[in-house]
Structure 1
């Protein structure tokens, strides 16, 4: 499971908005010099990201929580989002070129139609699967307060 720590900033019914800042993990990582994630965090300026997740651990506003995504789900989703549109773009472009005439314009239009169809297909597939690819709360990090007398 891939996890990230964040802070609950708002509750919305059975869901919670969690704010994460990715640079915190980058500063302590030994592989930060050659990491693409660090480069992305540097480009965004370490800005906070907000994620809407199902509040399965009864977190409250202000709680520090750990959210996670299953590696297999992330791999399947990445392959679908990147692979399916690209594959359909190439296949429809080649098919249009061979069937409708051998011009570059036909191939380009076929590529655009295939790319759009690929995105539509992935979106429809994702909406049918529901919450399988959504991050979820793993636990709440509660620190016991110490009172001095």
Structure 2
């Protein structure tokens, strides 16, 4: 289970809206803001991500909670978002070029490019439907695991 701390923003009936706490790694990185991640954040701006989850732990607005998600969700999302469009792009290009060559038509390169774009468009349409299907399946949703103790017990230190 992948876990991330979040803060409860609002409560609506039996669900809550949470905003994950962002980890600031740029201050600890040796590149100190010169990397692509920092530049991309500056260009696009950071918009808060908000999730609506079933309030299974009775959390209230302002509380810190731990949100969990099965590892398989991240793996499936990464494979479907990166690998499927890439494979469809390649397959579309190959099919477009081969069909044009088989038919004996000129401009095989143009047909390859067109086939690649068609494959990419089809992959994106499939990805949209696939992600909607995953969103309605309760097995693939993030869940509230527990509250975060605002005053964690520390290790006792003996002075003197």
The gaps in structure 1 that reach 5 residues or longer are: 145-149
Report deviation, 1:142: 4.4
| Alignment size in residue pairs | 138
Taking the aligned partners of 1:78 and 1:122, their CA distance within structure 2 comes to: 11
Partner residue in 2 for 1:75:
75
Report deviation, 1:5: 0.8
Whether 1:105 and 2:102 are equivalent positions in the alignment is no
TM-score, length basis structure 1:
0.73
Taking the aligned partners of 1:33 and 1:138, their CA distance within structure 2 comes to: 34
Report deviation, 1:134: 2.8
Out of 105, 115, 118, the position equivalent to 2:123 is: 118
Taking the aligned partners of 1:132 and 1:125, their CA distance within structure 2 comes to: 14
Deviations 1:58-77 (A, max 9, x none): 21111111112211221122
Report deviation, 1:103: 2.5
When Rg is computed on C-alpha atoms for both structures, the one with the higher figure is 2
Confirm or deny: 8 A CA contact 1:66 1:140 kept in the other structure: yes
The gaps in structure 2 that reach 5 residues or longer are: 152-160
Mean CA deviation greater in 87-96 or 116-125: 116-125
- Cα RMSD (Å): 2.9
TM-score, length basis structure 2:
0.69
Taking the aligned partners of 1:28 and 1:69, their CA distance within structure 2 comes to: 27
| Secondary structure, counterpart of 1:22 in structure 2 | coil
Deviations 1:92-130 (A, max 9, x none): 111011113453222222111111111222222233332
Out of 127, 139, 142, the position equivalent to 1:135 is: 142
Report deviation, 1:81: 1.5
- Bigger proportion of residues as helix: 1
Confirm or deny: 8 A CA contact 2:26 2:38 kept in the other structure: no
Deviations 1:68-91 (A, max 9, x none): 221122112211111111111110
Counterparts in 2 of 1:124 and 1:43: CA distance versus 1, 3 Å: closer
